[in-house]
Structure 1
């Protein structure tokens, strides 16, 4: 073809040259010929370039279309089964200070960066309010105990008894009433014996003695009554006319005409009183209930005569028992309140729960803790929230990996872990599975379980760094393997192989897979990249995998 084109080109050029030369003087052909030659050369070059590009693109497209599948060789290799995941480094232990008490901080003897030990004081808070509450609670316990003891003592004889001999002059309660301890029940008067209190000159009174007989005359009557001196006051008083007197008490039997409004005079031997004096009942007592309860019986009425110690009423026994039990419960409740107040006092001294390093201190002496777990401000990773202090135990570092439910059964405590971090490019760390948490989290129909890994050599890693990790589930040694993306596991396991009519170039590169064959295989263990073939293939066999880039180009060309 090239020769033919060259021959035709020469034949055209030779006749044209003489014609142009004949008319050269008139039309100036040499100059015009040079312009067309240059233009022709440029045009030829452009066409050649476009043709080359089109040929290259069409050739590439043909190769991409022919290369819809890529060959992979079945080979023996070390198969390490791993389960991968990502996590964030954290200290093995951390303590974020929280408190539910409020008050001013009196002590905070530490700073950021300090090393603290378990039990060291971090904050001491003003506890004056709770100390007052403790004292009040202690007094409440004492009062409840006293009430309980009194009820037990009075319950030994759940009865009302007369405290003097005489006549019941007034009843304040009725049978069936509920009576409280200290309530008035009855007044008792001894009207059979009266006491006359009269002044004697001090010198005369000094000569008198108890038990002496005396003659008493009731004012307004002339009848003398025999009595007995029962008391001589040692105190001197100023009597009528400025004389000194002492009061002498004389007891007489009431003939029935003497009341507590009567007055009289007395003579002891040859000594007479200095003036008249009033009569009093020998006994005027009020019966008071010593316990509380329902008054089950009251067999006396006003006007009845009683003797000292006589039962005048009784309480319901069950009512008394209930009161005693309630009093006992009150004592127990008061003690619990006191204990609670004392326990709360401990909350005003905050100590470290771990050995570690202080990485945050957000409150200091003079600041107020408001009684909540956290305070506003600080750098904790949570907007607007911080803790009074944060302590990290950096003696070891850990992180959690979320493991899929399909893989969690493969994980065991103690398995080796390979760890990398983008922040420390090129450096690999090792670790061990420390804990498997069975409290899974479900999202979008998939459940994952947190597996805690402890780093063996954490130097260079810091809390908060993101890491990638591979848990070494099994090191299988040499196994017959293919890339995992060459296997279709939906039907139990199958691969695609090139047919006997596959086409290869001079370099052995597959141009076309020919008639593709599908073959069932028996699958074994796998990792993220390779899967073991137990049966169905031999070493050196070729399997096919979909060429994603070729498929994409074919779609573009087809579009």
Structure 2
């Protein structure tokens, strides 16, 4: 702002002369200083960046490890951990409780298959067996009774079906009828009389000597008394024994049947001649059939199809009783029989289970082996239901078959295809330093286990040597081992470290400008990829079939160094 002053005597204000200022030069000096400072800072930054880039380049270059392609002896192996175990083992347990009566062995002793290890008091189960046998016997009696009742009802129904029919029991004429349809008739009641008047029979005596030559079906001549009429008939029966006739002579009765000419009745008499032999005396004619038709069923007579004077033949159905339904009784009897059989089956099964449980009171060894543990002795009480809570051992004894040792390895699916039974195995035990053991691949189990998309297969290795001897030298069951299954002894092959080969089967080699005169990497960006053909490999090296010559150098990326270089570059 310009200053003002007053003219003397006038009081008039006039502008005052401005004071000159040298701001421009001051600003010029300030910007010069700033430019100088900025130039110095930029130089420092450039210097620092160049040093950092040089350092980063050096770090990046140091992130590659050189390796030479050269001939090496290669053994192709499949490796893995395992745990030593005996050839076989048995942990003796029991399902029953009671007092141990015998335990005839000690720890360290060798036992054989089927040797008795323990016997446990079985008095309770023996009593249970007796009771079970009694139950079976009672059930068998019940089945027998139910079967008899069922069979009886079936027979009764069959008899009823047969006896409901009223059948003529002779051929002849109905002489008299005693009942009518609708009557309630009891078994044994006479229904009708049947007479066979068409045929008459005459039973006359012959001297026994003469009758002895007669036979049934032989022709005979009959003379009717009073009329002297001659009839021809047939012998139907000859008495089996003799009797005393008139005058004390021995006679035998012979029955002859003739057709009734119409005049004969049961009051007519006659004599007979068979060949030249004449009967010893005369006799009275009888109707050939004179029978009473008797009911065999009790109930209501539903039909009766005969009347007096009707002719019937033997076996002809002439009536029928009303049916009595027995099916409900038979069904109930069948159910009772089935239930009785089920009860018997349950009783037999219970007896079998009880008898089988008796075997549980004698514990035997299923293998040959050495007793590793003995946890019970004679006089001890064993109770498997409380062993885990009472602190008692859950195993009565432990037996190992130490005839040999084995271990299992879980092998990846990519490696298991290389394995064959019989391949040699080398392994070491974690607990035994500087000792190496050998074995042989004994079994490849194709039952694999898949976890997160990767499958492994268990294989079994049999350790070389006697198990007892190996244990004496310190190789015990339960020890952890690291094993190498020898797939192939490849011999001397051109190879590089496994890490030198990328997944696309390429290796890094030095391109133009990548190395200095001493062979050190000065520009990692000049490293080049080269495709190679690979062959076999072990855990450290891979065989090169083509793409590299012996003596050539490949470079392996050092992941940790590269990460550091990236951090410095950032």
- TM-score category by the smaller chain? 0.5 to 0.7
In structure 2, which of residues 69, 78, 84 is the aligned counterpart of residue 74 of structure 1? 69
Instruction: Answer yes or no: is 1:488 the counterpart of 2:512.
Output: no
Contact 2:57 2:565 in 1 (8 A): no
State the structure with more CA Rg.
2
Contact 2:440 2:461 in 1 (8 A): yes
In the alignment, which residue of structure 1 is the partner of 2:83? 88
In structure 1, which of residues 379, 387, 399 is the aligned counterpart of residue 395 of structure 2? 387
CA distance in 2, matches of 1:529, 1:119: 51
In the alignment, which residue of structure 2 is the partner of 1:334? 347
In the alignment, which residue of structure 2 is the partner of 1:419? 427
Secondary structure at 1:371 match in 2: coil
Contact 1:98 1:373 in 2 (8 A): no
Contact 1:141 1:334 in 2 (8 A): yes
> When the two structures are superposed, what TM-score results if normalisation uses the length of structure 1?
0.56
In structure 1, which of residues 527, 532, 537 is the aligned counterpart of residue 548 of structure 2? 537
Q: 1:151 to 1:544 in 2, by over 3 A?
A: same
Secondary structure at 1:426 match in 2: strand
CA distance in 2, matches of 1:544, 1:373: 67
In structure 1, which of residues 477, 483, 496 is the aligned counterpart of residue 491 of structure 2? 477
Instruction: Answer yes or no: is 1:359 the counterpart of 2:372.
Output: yes
Q: Note the 1:326-475 alignment, pairs <5 A.
A: 326-372=339-385, 375=388, 386-457=394-465, 459=470, 460=473, 461-475=475-489
Q: 1:373 to 1:75 in 2, by over 3 A?
A: farther
CA distance in 2, matches of 1:90, 1:446: 26
Q: 1:103 to 1:83 in 2, by over 3 A?
A: same
Contact 2:375 2:393 in 1 (8 A): no
The Cα shift of 1:155 comes to 4.0
CA distance in 1, matches of 2:95, 2:81: 36
Q: Note the 1:509-548 alignment, pairs <5 A.
A: 515-547=526-558
CA distance in 2, matches of 1:437, 1:463: 21
Secondary structure at 1:540 match in 2: coil
Q: 1:386 to 1:160 in 2, by over 3 A?
A: closer
Q: 1:114 to 1:535 in 2, by over 3 A?
A: same
The Cα shift of 1:402 comes to 1.6
The Cα shift of 1:441 comes to 3.3
The Cα shift of 1:401 comes to 1.0
Cα distance per residue 1:232-252 (max 9 Å; x no partner): xxxxxxxxxxxxxxxxxxxxx
The Cα shift of 1:510 comes to 6.3
Q: Note the 1:270-289 alignment, pairs <5 A.
A: none
Q: 1:496 to 1:438 in 2, by over 3 A?
A: same
CA distance in 2, matches of 1:358, 1:117: 10
Cα distance per residue 1:140-161 (max 9 Å; x no partner): 1111112222333344432789
In the alignment, which residue of structure 2 is the partner of 1:36? none
CA distance in 2, matches of 1:556, 1:155: 100
Q: 1:545 to 1:68 in 2, by over 3 A?
A: same
Contact 1:299 1:313 in 2 (8 A): no
The Cα shift of 1:95 comes to 0.5
Contact 2:407 2:461 in 1 (8 A): yes
CA distance in 1, matches of 2:530, 2:501: 10
Secondary structure at 1:410 match in 2: coil
Contact 1:377 1:386 in 2 (8 A): no
- Structure 2 residue ranges without an equivalent (≥5): 1-53, 158-296, 301-323
Secondary structure at 2:417 match in 1: helix
Q: 1:532 to 1:385 in 2, by over 3 A?
A: farther
CA distance in 2, matches of 1:511, 1:464: 54
In the alignment, which residue of structure 2 is the partner of 1:115? 110
CA distance in 2, matches of 1:61, 1:160: 115
CA distance in 2, matches of 1:298, 1:502: 127
RMSD over equivalenced CA pairs, Å = 3.4
CA distance in 2, matches of 1:495, 1:374: 64
Instruction: Answer yes or no: is 1:134 the counterpart of 2:146.
Output: no
Secondary structure at 1:464 match in 2: coil
Cα distance per residue 1:150-194 (max 9 Å; x no partner): 333344432789xxxxxxxxxxxxxxxxxxxxxxxxxxxxxxxxx
CA distance in 2, matches of 1:140, 1:414: 60
Q: 1:510 to 1:421 in 2, by over 3 A?
A: farther
The Cα shift of 1:332 comes to 2.7
The Cα shift of 1:66 comes to 4.1
Contact 1:298 1:314 in 2 (8 A): no
Contact 1:375 1:388 in 2 (8 A): no
CA distance in 2, matches of 1:462, 1:440: 28
In the alignment, which residue of structure 2 is the partner of 1:148? 143
In the alignment, which residue of structure 2 is the partner of 1:106? 101
Q: 1:61 to 1:422 in 2, by over 3 A?
A: farther
Q: 1:527 to 1:314 in 2, by over 3 A?
A: same
Contact 1:436 1:450 in 2 (8 A): yes
The Cα shift of 1:509 comes to 6.6
Count of residues in correspondence between the two structures:
348
In the alignment, which residue of structure 1 is the partner of 2:336? 323
CA distance in 2, matches of 1:437, 1:533: 32
The Cα shift of 1:471 comes to 1.2
Q: Note the 1:236-247 alignment, pairs <5 A.
A: none
> When the two structures are superposed, what TM-score results if normalisation uses the length of structure 2?
0.55
CA distance in 1, matches of 2:564, 2:403: 54
Q: 1:385 to 1:495 in 2, by over 3 A?
A: farther
The Cα shift of 1:106 comes to 1.4
CA distance in 2, matches of 1:364, 1:538: 74
